């Protein structure tokens, strides 16, 4: 018996609205999971996350393993109790973080090439995590059993296998977690992508077996397999068929995409997956990409982008991203929320946002004031921008859910894309 249940409530084409029930509460899908990399969504308290409408958060296995260690989190009562979050939680496998310490992987050993943040963002626009950019962690050895890697914190040597990743995630205690996989560079050759998906499939089965043999964890936690295959649609279809056949509780769509490849790779994978399984698009958080995912039947999303760009003074608006460091915002005394997504614009009633606080905690601030905070490097500026961005994404996804239920998702999406991308 699975530790979760998933019920689809409404369809519009392949887009769907559902309810995912976990041992720590219900997730109304489609849903966005704010990322608390180190058991903390940067600058945002659990109470503030609830006020913004968040129902689930995702934390990072790699980072929590290194600091403070999964044993400490386990002693605290698991991830939720450790971070003061009472709702559902998700952890990734650690695979993406291990492999994304660099992009030049060989078959058995590779030294990572240090790149600028701008180059990394261009290569992996949707899921780049600046927390892993450091002078350490520049060596990984990949073999059939797993990967040996150096810590980005101090250069110390560590090893992940599928069984070890599952063991760590059992200790972290999240409601949903992912099988250990190999996340390749989008520029890797077709031959290497095939080799990597075959290894990912073997690791997926080992991860699943390790989980199913832990009776206690199996009753409390659900495990998702991950579809890989890079930009190649035939590999995505093959990987989706293989992962779906193994008996996972849900499916993750993983890997790095260029913008032009994402749609085809996503549609290829989704065409092979059982409709009844919950599906998570890993590391996807750009507004248009989220709506693309929802249109193709994705139920869950996560991404660091909302808080990452917020820390640097950039915010989502209904007409695209703006940068508050721009000169014109010094004397702009319009409220910050004037650039958000008014619920009325998307047919949202207060009852449609599970926690109806929305962005009310930032509405008192003007653009000029927040721009001043960012320029002055005041902590509050980063917090306000991060809250604004998370509220924007959570409101967007809540609106998409209601639009599916009302049978007007296509119109909802078209209106947003028109305004956002001009």
Q: What is the pLDDT of residue 117?
A: 32
3-class DSSP state for residue 240?
helix
CA distances from 195 to 63, 205, 228, 411 (A): 27, 16, 11, 41
Active-site position among 129, 302, 332, 337: 302
d(CA 177, CA 163): 13
Rg (Cα) of the chain, in Å, rounded? Answer: 20
d(CA 199, CA 405): 40
Compute mean pLDDT per 10 residues along the chain, 422 residues long, and list them. Answer: 92 98 98 97 95 95 96 98 98 80 38 32 35 54 86 85 97 98 85 94 98 95 96 96 98 82 93 97 95 98 96 95 96 87 52 43 86 97 96 95 96 95 88
Q: What is the pLDDT of residue 122?
A: 34
If we measure between CA atoms, which residue out of 310, 333, 276 comes closest to residue 391? 310
Residue 403 · residue 411 · CB < 8 Å? yes
pTM of the model: 0.89
Q: What is the pLDDT of residue 105?
A: 36
3-class DSSP state for residue 213?
coil
In the annotation, is 129 catalytic? no
Query: For residue 140, what are the β-bridge partners?
Result: 110, 149
Residue with the two structure tokens 């917090």: 383
Q: What is the pLDDT of residue 260?
A: 79
Using DSSP bridges, classify how beta strands 176-178 and 157-160 pair: parallel, antiparallel or unpaired: unpaired
In the annotation, is 337 catalytic? no
Residue 292 · residue 25 · CB < 8 Å? no
């Amino acid at each position: 018996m699975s530790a979760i249940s998933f019920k689809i409530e409404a369809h519009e084409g392949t887009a769907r609205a559902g309810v995912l029930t976990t041992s720590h509460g219900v997730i109304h899908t489609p849903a966005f999971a704010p990322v608390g990399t180190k058991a903390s969504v940067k600058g945002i308290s659990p109470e503030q996350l609830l006020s913004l409408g968040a129902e689930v958060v995702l934390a990072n296995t790699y980072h929590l393993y290194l600091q403070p260690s999964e044993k400490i989190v386990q002693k605290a009562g698991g991830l939720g109790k450790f971070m003061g979050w009472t709702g559902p939680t998700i952890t990734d496998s650690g695979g993406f973080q291990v492999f994304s310490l660099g992009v030049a992987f060989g078959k058995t050993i590779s030294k990572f090439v240090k790149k600028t943040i701008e180059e990394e963002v261009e290569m992996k626009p949707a899921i780049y995590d600046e927390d892993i950019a450091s002078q350490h962690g520049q060596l990984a050895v990949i073999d059939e059993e797993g990967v040996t890697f150096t810590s980005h914190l101090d250069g110390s040597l560590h090893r992940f296998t599928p069984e070890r990743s599952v063991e760590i995630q059992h200790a972290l205690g999240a409601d949903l977690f992912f099988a250990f996989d190999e996340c390749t560079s989008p520029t890797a050759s077709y031959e290497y992508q095939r080799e990597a998906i075959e290894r990912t499939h073997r690791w997926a089965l080992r991860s699943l077996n390790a989980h199913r043999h832990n009776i206690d964890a199996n009753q409390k936690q659900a495990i998702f397999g991950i579809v890989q295959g890079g930009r190649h649609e035939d590999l995505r279809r093959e990987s989706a068929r293989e992962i779906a056949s193994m008996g996972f509780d849900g499916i993750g769509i993983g890997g790095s995409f260029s913008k032009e490849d994402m749609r085809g790779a996503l549609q290829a994978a989704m065409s092979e997956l059982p409709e009844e399984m919950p599906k998570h698009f890993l590391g996807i958080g750009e507004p248009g990409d989220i709506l693309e995912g929802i249109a193709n039947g994705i139920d869950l999303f996560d991404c660091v982008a909302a808080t990452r760009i917020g820390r640097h003074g950039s915010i989502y608006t209904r007409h695209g991203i703006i940068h508050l460091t721009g000169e014109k915002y010094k004397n702009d005394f319009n409220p910050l929320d004037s650039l958000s997504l008014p619920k009325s614009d998307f047919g949202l009633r207060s009852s449609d946002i599970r926690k109806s606080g929305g962005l009310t905690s930032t509405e008192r601030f003007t653009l000029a004031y927040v721009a001043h905070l960012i320029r002055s490097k005041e902590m509050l500026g980063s917090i306000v921008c991060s809250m604004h961005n998370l509220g924007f994404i959570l409101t967007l996804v809540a609106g998409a859910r209601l639009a599916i239920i009302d049978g007007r998702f296509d119109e909802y999406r078209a209106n947003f894309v028109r305004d956002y991308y001009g």
